[in-house]
Amino acid sequence: MNILFVGHILNPNDLSKFPAASIAGNNMQLGYIESLYKYLEHDIEVISQLPISIYPKSKHIHIKMHTLDIGNSHRAISPSFINLPFLKSCTLKQSTSTLIQSWLNKHKDNEKVIISFNTLPQIALPVIRYSKKHDVKTICIFADPPIDPFKRSIIGRIYKNYEFLQSMKLIKRFDGVIALNQKIVEDYAPMVPYEIIEGGINLDLFNQEITPKQNGVKRIVYSGALTEYSGCKKLIESLAYIQEKNFVIEFYGSGPLVKYIKSFSKNDARVQYLGIQSNQNMINVERNADFLINPRKIHDPISTYTFPSKILEYLATGTPTLSTKVNGLTPYYLNHLNIVETDDPISFAQSLEWILNSDYAILKEKALYAKKEILNEKNWMEQTKKLLAFINAL
Protein backbone atom coordinates (compact mmCIF):
# COMPACT_ATOMS: atom_id res chain seq x y z
CA MET A 1 0.00 0.00 0.00
CA ASN A 2 1.25 3.46 -0.95
CA ILE A 3 0.23 6.48 1.12
CA LEU A 4 0.31 10.15 0.16
CA PHE A 5 0.10 12.53 3.12
CA VAL A 6 -1.05 16.06 2.23
CA GLY A 7 -0.80 18.79 4.85
CA HIS A 8 1.40 21.64 6.00
CA ILE A 9 4.42 20.10 7.70
CA LEU A 10 7.64 21.79 8.77
CA ASN A 11 10.90 20.71 10.30
CA PRO A 12 10.48 21.47 14.05
CA ASN A 13 13.67 23.55 13.88
CA ASP A 14 11.99 25.85 11.35
CA LEU A 15 8.76 26.54 13.26
CA SER A 16 10.01 29.87 14.61
CA LYS A 17 10.34 31.14 11.01
CA PHE A 18 6.63 30.58 10.35
CA PRO A 19 4.41 32.45 12.85
CA ALA A 20 1.27 31.16 11.08
CA ALA A 21 2.21 27.54 11.77
CA SER A 22 0.49 25.56 14.53
CA ILE A 23 2.99 23.82 16.82
CA ALA A 24 0.41 21.27 17.97
CA GLY A 25 -0.73 20.62 14.40
CA ASN A 26 2.84 20.26 13.19
CA ASN A 27 3.66 17.80 15.98
CA MET A 28 0.60 15.72 15.11
CA GLN A 29 1.46 15.55 11.41
CA LEU A 30 5.08 14.64 12.13
CA GLY A 31 3.97 11.99 14.65
CA TYR A 32 1.91 10.22 12.02
CA ILE A 33 4.48 10.68 9.23
CA GLU A 34 7.43 9.41 11.29
CA SER A 35 5.47 6.31 12.34
CA LEU A 36 4.16 5.67 8.82
CA TYR A 37 7.74 5.70 7.55
CA LYS A 38 8.64 3.08 10.15
CA TYR A 39 5.67 0.86 9.28
CA LEU A 40 5.75 1.30 5.50
CA GLU A 41 9.43 2.12 4.90
CA HIS A 42 9.52 3.91 1.53
CA ASP A 43 5.82 3.58 0.62
CA ILE A 44 4.83 7.02 1.91
CA GLU A 45 5.28 10.41 0.24
CA VAL A 46 4.45 13.86 1.61
CA ILE A 47 3.10 17.09 0.10
CA SER A 48 3.51 20.07 2.43
CA GLN A 49 1.92 23.45 1.72
CA LEU A 50 3.97 26.15 3.43
CA PRO A 51 1.96 27.71 6.32
CA ILE A 52 2.91 31.33 5.72
CA SER A 53 0.90 34.50 6.14
CA ILE A 54 -0.46 36.25 3.07
CA TYR A 55 1.45 39.25 1.70
CA PRO A 56 2.16 41.84 3.10
CA LYS A 57 2.35 40.04 6.49
CA SER A 58 4.82 37.78 4.76
CA LYS A 59 7.24 39.47 2.36
CA HIS A 60 7.20 36.53 -0.05
CA ILE A 61 4.83 36.87 -3.02
CA HIS A 62 5.75 33.95 -5.28
CA ILE A 63 6.67 30.63 -3.66
CA LYS A 64 8.25 28.17 -6.10
CA MET A 65 7.85 24.42 -5.84
CA HIS A 66 10.72 22.96 -3.84
CA THR A 67 11.84 20.04 -1.72
CA LEU A 68 11.34 20.58 2.00
CA ASP A 69 13.39 19.00 4.80
CA ILE A 70 10.87 17.94 7.47
CA GLY A 71 13.40 16.26 9.77
CA ASN A 72 15.00 12.84 10.35
CA SER A 73 16.15 12.66 6.73
CA HIS A 74 12.55 12.82 5.48
CA ARG A 75 11.54 15.09 2.62
CA ALA A 76 8.31 16.65 1.38
CA ILE A 77 7.40 18.36 -1.86
CA SER A 78 6.14 21.89 -1.28
CA PRO A 79 3.86 23.15 -4.09
CA SER A 80 4.20 26.56 -5.70
CA PHE A 81 1.69 29.38 -5.15
CA ILE A 82 1.15 33.12 -5.41
CA ASN A 83 0.96 34.50 -1.91
CA LEU A 84 -1.72 37.15 -2.48
CA PRO A 85 -5.33 37.30 -1.22
CA PHE A 86 -7.62 34.83 -3.06
CA LEU A 87 -4.81 33.88 -5.47
CA LYS A 88 -3.05 31.90 -2.74
CA SER A 89 -5.88 29.38 -2.35
CA CYS A 90 -6.47 29.09 -6.10
CA THR A 91 -2.84 28.54 -7.02
CA LEU A 92 -2.30 26.10 -4.13
CA LYS A 93 -5.24 23.99 -5.33
CA GLN A 94 -3.84 23.96 -8.85
CA SER A 95 -0.24 23.10 -7.97
CA THR A 96 -1.28 20.53 -5.33
CA SER A 97 -3.58 18.90 -7.91
CA THR A 98 -0.62 18.55 -10.29
CA LEU A 99 1.49 16.87 -7.60
CA ILE A 100 -1.34 14.49 -6.63
CA GLN A 101 -1.87 13.52 -10.28
CA SER A 102 1.85 12.85 -10.64
CA TRP A 103 1.81 10.60 -7.56
CA LEU A 104 -1.25 8.72 -8.85
CA ASN A 105 0.46 8.09 -12.18
CA LYS A 106 3.62 6.92 -10.44
CA HIS A 107 1.72 4.30 -8.40
CA LYS A 108 -1.08 3.49 -10.87
CA ASP A 109 -0.73 -0.28 -10.40
CA ASN A 110 -0.59 -0.24 -6.59
CA GLU A 111 -3.17 0.04 -3.81
CA LYS A 112 -3.22 3.69 -2.77
CA VAL A 113 -4.52 5.88 0.07
CA ILE A 114 -4.40 9.67 0.38
CA ILE A 115 -4.43 11.24 3.84
CA SER A 116 -5.51 14.89 4.15
CA PHE A 117 -4.69 16.85 7.27
CA ASN A 118 -7.88 18.80 8.04
CA THR A 119 -10.35 20.11 5.47
CA LEU A 120 -8.86 23.38 4.22
CA PRO A 121 -10.10 23.57 0.62
CA GLN A 122 -6.64 24.10 -0.85
CA ILE A 123 -5.69 20.70 0.59
CA ALA A 124 -8.93 18.72 0.72
CA LEU A 125 -10.44 19.75 -2.63
CA PRO A 126 -7.56 18.41 -4.78
CA VAL A 127 -7.45 15.26 -2.62
CA ILE A 128 -11.18 14.56 -3.07
CA ARG A 129 -11.30 15.51 -6.75
CA TYR A 130 -8.45 13.28 -7.89
CA SER A 131 -9.16 10.39 -5.51
CA LYS A 132 -12.74 10.06 -6.80
CA LYS A 133 -11.49 10.23 -10.37
CA HIS A 134 -9.02 7.38 -9.75
CA ASP A 135 -11.05 5.40 -7.17
CA VAL A 136 -8.51 5.92 -4.37
CA LYS A 137 -9.36 5.77 -0.67
CA THR A 138 -9.18 9.05 1.23
CA ILE A 139 -8.76 9.68 4.96
CA CYS A 140 -9.13 13.03 6.69
CA ILE A 141 -7.37 13.67 9.98
CA PHE A 142 -10.02 16.08 11.25
CA ALA A 143 -8.06 17.89 13.96
CA ASP A 144 -9.57 21.37 13.67
CA PRO A 145 -13.28 22.18 13.20
CA PRO A 146 -14.30 25.01 10.83
CA ILE A 147 -14.43 27.54 13.65
CA ASP A 148 -12.43 30.78 13.70
CA PRO A 149 -11.40 32.03 17.18
CA PHE A 150 -9.76 35.21 15.88
CA LYS A 151 -11.08 38.68 15.11
CA ARG A 152 -10.86 39.57 11.42
CA SER A 153 -11.80 42.35 9.01
CA ILE A 154 -15.10 42.17 7.14
CA ILE A 155 -13.35 40.79 4.05
CA GLY A 156 -11.45 38.32 6.23
CA ARG A 157 -14.69 37.09 7.80
CA ILE A 158 -16.38 36.71 4.41
CA TYR A 159 -13.46 34.67 3.08
CA LYS A 160 -13.32 32.50 6.22
CA ASN A 161 -17.06 31.82 6.10
CA TYR A 162 -16.76 30.76 2.46
CA GLU A 163 -13.79 28.55 3.33
CA PHE A 164 -15.70 26.95 6.21
CA LEU A 165 -18.75 26.22 4.02
CA GLN A 166 -16.48 24.42 1.57
CA SER A 167 -14.81 22.52 4.41
CA MET A 168 -18.15 21.31 5.80
CA LYS A 169 -19.10 19.94 2.37
CA LEU A 170 -15.71 18.31 1.78
CA ILE A 171 -15.52 16.41 5.08
CA LYS A 172 -18.61 14.41 4.09
CA ARG A 173 -16.92 13.17 0.91
CA PHE A 174 -13.99 11.39 2.58
CA ASP A 175 -14.01 7.60 2.86
CA GLY A 176 -12.98 7.80 6.51
CA VAL A 177 -12.27 10.30 9.26
CA ILE A 178 -9.74 10.26 12.08
CA ALA A 179 -11.27 12.49 14.77
CA LEU A 180 -9.95 13.76 18.07
CA ASN A 181 -13.42 13.99 19.54
CA GLN A 182 -16.72 12.09 19.13
CA LYS A 183 -18.78 15.29 18.91
CA ILE A 184 -17.03 16.62 15.81
CA VAL A 185 -17.94 13.47 13.87
CA GLU A 186 -21.56 13.53 15.04
CA ASP A 187 -22.08 17.14 13.94
CA TYR A 188 -19.90 17.44 10.82
CA ALA A 189 -19.60 13.93 9.30
CA PRO A 190 -22.32 11.74 10.81
CA MET A 191 -22.43 9.24 7.92
CA VAL A 192 -18.67 8.83 7.41
CA PRO A 193 -16.80 5.88 8.99
CA TYR A 194 -14.46 7.13 11.70
CA GLU A 195 -11.91 6.29 14.36
CA ILE A 196 -11.15 8.38 17.46
CA ILE A 197 -7.41 9.02 17.84
CA GLU A 198 -6.77 11.98 20.14
CA GLY A 199 -3.13 12.50 19.23
CA GLY A 200 0.08 10.87 20.31
CA ILE A 201 3.34 11.01 22.21
CA ASN A 202 6.84 11.16 20.73
CA LEU A 203 8.72 8.80 23.03
CA ASP A 204 12.08 10.29 22.02
CA LEU A 205 11.16 13.49 23.89
CA PHE A 206 10.61 11.61 27.15
CA ASN A 207 13.73 9.45 27.26
CA GLN A 208 15.49 11.45 29.99
CA GLU A 209 14.90 11.04 33.70
CA ILE A 210 14.59 14.36 35.51
CA THR A 211 14.38 14.98 39.25
CA PRO A 212 12.11 18.01 39.84
CA LYS A 213 13.79 20.94 41.59
CA GLN A 214 12.26 21.96 44.90
CA ASN A 215 12.72 25.62 45.87
CA GLY A 216 9.87 26.16 48.31
CA VAL A 217 7.63 28.08 45.89
CA LYS A 218 5.08 25.82 44.20
CA ARG A 219 5.22 26.17 40.43
CA ILE A 220 2.11 25.79 38.29
CA VAL A 221 2.86 25.70 34.55
CA TYR A 222 0.62 26.48 31.60
CA SER A 223 1.92 26.10 28.05
CA GLY A 224 0.06 26.66 24.81
CA ALA A 225 -2.05 29.25 23.03
CA LEU A 226 -2.61 32.39 25.11
CA THR A 227 -6.15 33.08 23.91
CA GLU A 228 -9.62 33.65 25.36
CA TYR A 229 -10.75 30.09 24.63
CA SER A 230 -7.70 28.70 26.43
CA GLY A 231 -9.14 29.99 29.72
CA CYS A 232 -5.95 31.79 30.78
CA LYS A 233 -7.79 35.04 31.56
CA LYS A 234 -10.26 33.38 33.93
CA LEU A 235 -7.40 31.52 35.57
CA ILE A 236 -5.63 34.81 36.27
CA GLU A 237 -8.87 36.37 37.51
CA SER A 238 -9.16 33.55 40.07
CA LEU A 239 -6.12 34.90 41.94
CA ALA A 240 -8.31 37.64 43.43
CA TYR A 241 -10.02 34.88 45.47
CA ILE A 242 -6.81 33.23 46.71
CA GLN A 243 -4.96 34.53 49.78
CA GLU A 244 -2.04 32.13 49.55
CA LYS A 245 1.15 33.68 48.14
CA ASN A 246 3.58 30.76 48.12
CA PHE A 247 3.02 29.72 44.50
CA VAL A 248 3.50 31.05 40.99
CA ILE A 249 1.69 30.40 37.70
CA GLU A 250 4.13 30.37 34.79
CA PHE A 251 2.70 31.04 31.32
CA TYR A 252 4.55 29.83 28.22
CA GLY A 253 3.41 30.40 24.64
CA SER A 254 2.10 33.12 22.39
CA GLY A 255 -1.21 34.73 21.49
CA PRO A 256 -3.45 37.77 22.01
CA LEU A 257 -3.27 37.55 25.83
CA VAL A 258 0.49 38.06 26.12
CA LYS A 259 0.14 41.79 26.83
CA TYR A 260 -2.60 41.14 29.39
CA ILE A 261 -0.48 38.55 31.22
CA LYS A 262 2.61 40.76 31.23
CA SER A 263 0.58 43.70 32.54
CA PHE A 264 -1.01 41.62 35.31
CA SER A 265 2.36 40.21 36.37
CA LYS A 266 3.55 43.73 37.25
CA ASN A 267 0.98 43.87 40.07
CA ASP A 268 0.90 40.23 41.17
CA ALA A 269 4.13 38.27 41.51
CA ARG A 270 2.18 35.02 41.35
CA VAL A 271 1.89 35.47 37.56
CA GLN A 272 4.91 35.18 35.24
CA TYR A 273 5.17 35.22 31.46
CA LEU A 274 8.21 33.24 30.30
CA GLY A 275 7.86 33.30 26.52
CA ILE A 276 8.18 30.55 23.94
CA GLN A 277 10.32 27.42 24.35
CA SER A 278 11.29 24.58 22.02
CA ASN A 279 9.20 21.47 22.45
CA GLN A 280 11.99 19.58 24.26
CA ASN A 281 12.72 22.52 26.57
CA MET A 282 9.01 22.89 27.32
CA ILE A 283 8.71 19.24 28.26
CA ASN A 284 11.67 19.64 30.64
CA VAL A 285 9.96 22.68 32.20
CA GLU A 286 6.77 20.66 32.65
CA ARG A 287 8.63 17.78 34.27
CA ASN A 288 10.29 20.18 36.71
CA ALA A 289 7.01 21.86 37.67
CA ASP A 290 4.94 20.98 40.73
CA PHE A 291 1.67 21.14 38.80
CA LEU A 292 0.45 21.58 35.22
CA ILE A 293 -2.83 23.23 34.30
CA ASN A 294 -5.26 23.15 31.39
CA PRO A 295 -7.83 25.92 32.09
CA ARG A 296 -9.60 25.72 28.72
CA LYS A 297 -13.16 27.09 28.61
CA ILE A 298 -15.64 24.23 28.87
CA HIS A 299 -18.41 25.55 26.61
CA ASP A 300 -16.31 27.24 23.95
CA PRO A 301 -16.98 25.72 20.47
CA ILE A 302 -13.31 24.82 20.06
CA SER A 303 -13.40 22.88 23.35
CA THR A 304 -16.59 21.15 22.21
CA TYR A 305 -15.08 19.80 19.00
CA THR A 306 -11.40 19.22 19.73
CA PHE A 307 -9.11 17.41 22.14
CA PRO A 308 -6.50 19.47 24.03
CA SER A 309 -3.33 17.83 22.71
CA LYS A 310 -1.42 19.40 25.59
CA ILE A 311 -3.18 16.93 27.93
CA LEU A 312 -1.29 14.00 26.40
CA GLU A 313 2.01 15.81 26.87
CA TYR A 314 1.13 16.88 30.40
CA LEU A 315 0.22 13.34 31.47
CA ALA A 316 3.35 11.90 29.85
CA THR A 317 5.54 14.07 32.10
CA GLY A 318 4.35 12.45 35.32
CA THR A 319 3.51 15.85 36.82
CA PRO A 320 0.12 16.25 38.61
CA THR A 321 -2.28 17.97 36.23
CA LEU A 322 -5.34 20.10 36.87
CA SER A 323 -7.82 20.46 34.01
CA THR A 324 -11.29 21.73 33.27
CA LYS A 325 -13.78 19.04 32.24
CA VAL A 326 -13.87 19.79 28.52
CA ASN A 327 -15.94 17.67 26.15
CA GLY A 328 -13.11 15.66 24.57
CA LEU A 329 -11.91 14.16 27.85
CA THR A 330 -13.24 10.60 28.04
CA PRO A 331 -13.28 8.59 31.32
CA TYR A 332 -9.83 7.26 30.40
CA TYR A 333 -8.37 10.76 30.75
CA LEU A 334 -10.63 11.97 33.55
CA ASN A 335 -9.31 9.17 35.76
CA HIS A 336 -5.76 10.44 35.31
CA LEU A 337 -6.53 14.15 35.88
CA ASN A 338 -7.53 16.41 38.74
CA ILE A 339 -10.71 18.05 37.48
CA VAL A 340 -12.17 21.57 37.67
CA GLU A 341 -15.91 20.99 37.14
CA THR A 342 -16.74 24.55 36.03
CA ASP A 343 -14.54 27.26 34.53
CA ASP A 344 -15.50 30.41 36.42
CA PRO A 345 -12.78 32.23 38.46
CA ILE A 346 -14.20 31.11 41.83
CA SER A 347 -14.10 27.43 40.79
CA PHE A 348 -10.52 27.88 39.60
CA ALA A 349 -9.63 29.46 42.94
CA GLN A 350 -11.17 26.60 44.92
CA SER A 351 -9.46 23.96 42.77
CA LEU A 352 -6.08 25.71 43.00
CA GLU A 353 -6.34 25.97 46.78
CA TRP A 354 -7.31 22.31 46.98
CA ILE A 355 -4.42 21.05 44.87
CA LEU A 356 -1.87 23.34 46.55
CA ASN A 357 -2.85 22.01 49.97
CA SER A 358 -3.29 18.32 49.07
CA ASP A 359 -0.89 15.51 49.98
CA TYR A 360 1.60 15.87 47.15
CA ALA A 361 2.84 12.29 47.42
CA ILE A 362 -0.65 10.99 46.60
CA LEU A 363 -1.02 13.38 43.65
CA LYS A 364 2.42 12.40 42.34
CA GLU A 365 1.69 8.68 42.59
CA LYS A 366 -1.46 9.20 40.52
CA ALA A 367 0.51 11.24 37.97
CA LEU A 368 3.26 8.63 37.62
CA TYR A 369 0.69 5.89 37.01
CA ALA A 370 -0.87 8.08 34.31
CA LYS A 371 2.56 8.60 32.74
CA LYS A 372 3.14 4.85 32.45
CA GLU A 373 -0.28 4.33 30.84
CA ILE A 374 0.07 7.21 28.37
CA LEU A 375 3.58 6.33 27.23
CA ASN A 376 2.60 2.69 26.67
CA GLU A 377 -0.79 3.22 25.05
CA LYS A 378 -0.74 6.65 23.39
CA ASN A 379 2.69 6.81 21.73
CA TRP A 380 2.71 7.55 18.01
CA MET A 381 3.55 4.01 16.93
CA GLU A 382 0.50 2.66 18.76
CA GLN A 383 -1.74 5.44 17.47
CA THR A 384 -0.55 5.00 13.89
CA LYS A 385 -1.20 1.26 14.17
CA LYS A 386 -4.84 2.20 14.83
CA LEU A 387 -4.81 4.46 11.76
CA LEU A 388 -3.50 1.67 9.52
CA ALA A 389 -6.01 -0.82 10.92
CA PHE A 390 -8.81 1.66 10.21
CA ILE A 391 -7.59 2.14 6.61
CA ASN A 392 -7.42 -1.62 6.03
CA ALA A 393 -10.93 -2.09 7.44
CA LEU A 394 -12.55 0.40 5.03
pLDDT, position 274: 97
The enclosing domain of 19 has a CATH number of 3.40.50.2000
251 and 122 together in one domain: no
Residue by residue, DSSP assigns 278-290 as -HHHHHHHHHHSS
pLDDT, position 257: 96
pLDDT, position 20: 85
Residues 193 and 172: their CA atoms lie apart, in Å, by 10
Q: Which domain holds residue 333?
A: 203-377
pLDDT, position 266: 96
- CA 249, 250, 252, 258 dihedral sign is positive
Give which of 112, 124, 321, 263 is closest to 329, Cα–Cα. 321
Residue by residue, DSSP assigns 327-386 as TT--HHHHTTSEEESS-SHHHHHHHHHHHHTS-HHHHHHHHHHHHHHHHHHSBHHHHHHH
190 and 243 together in one domain: no
- CA 137, 199, 331, 147 dihedral sign is negative
253 and 321 together in one domain: yes
296 and 339 together in one domain: yes
178 and 136 together in one domain: yes
153 and 222 together in one domain: no
70 and 174 together in one domain: yes
Q: Residue 17, Cβ neighbours under 10 Å: how many?
A: 10
- CA 369, 374, 377, 379 dihedral sign is negative
pLDDT, position 215: 65
In total, how many domains does the chain have?
2
Residues 117 and 249: their CA atoms lie apart, in Å, by 34
212 and 148 together in one domain: no
Residues 166 and 125: their CA atoms lie apart, in Å, by 9
Pairing between β-strand 321-324 and β-strand 291-294 as defined by DSSP bridges = parallel
184 and 208 together in one domain: no
321 and 386 together in one domain: no
Residues 298 and 30: their CA atoms lie apart, in Å, by 28
Q: Is 10 left (phi over 0), alpha (psi -120 to 50) or beta?
A: beta
Output the CA torsion 62→5→194→198 (10° steps).
-80
88 and 170 together in one domain: yes
385 and 337 together in one domain: no
Radius of gyration of the chain (CA): 22
Show pLDDT as tens, one digit a residue, over the chain (394 residues).
999 999 999 999 998 889 888 889 999 999 999 999 999 988 999 999 999 989 988 999 999 999 999 998 899 999 999 999 889 999 999 999 999 999 999 999 999 999 999 999 999 999 999 999 999 999 999 999 988 777 777 777 777 888 899 999 999 999 999 999 999 999 999 999 999 999 999 999 887 666 655 568 999 999 999 998 999 999 999 999 999 999 999 999 999 999 999 999 999 999 999 999 988 899 999 999 999 999 999 999 989 999 998 999 999 999 999 999 999 999 999 999 999 999 999 999 999 999 999 999 999 999 999 999 999 999 999 999 999 999 999 9
pLDDT, position 155: 75
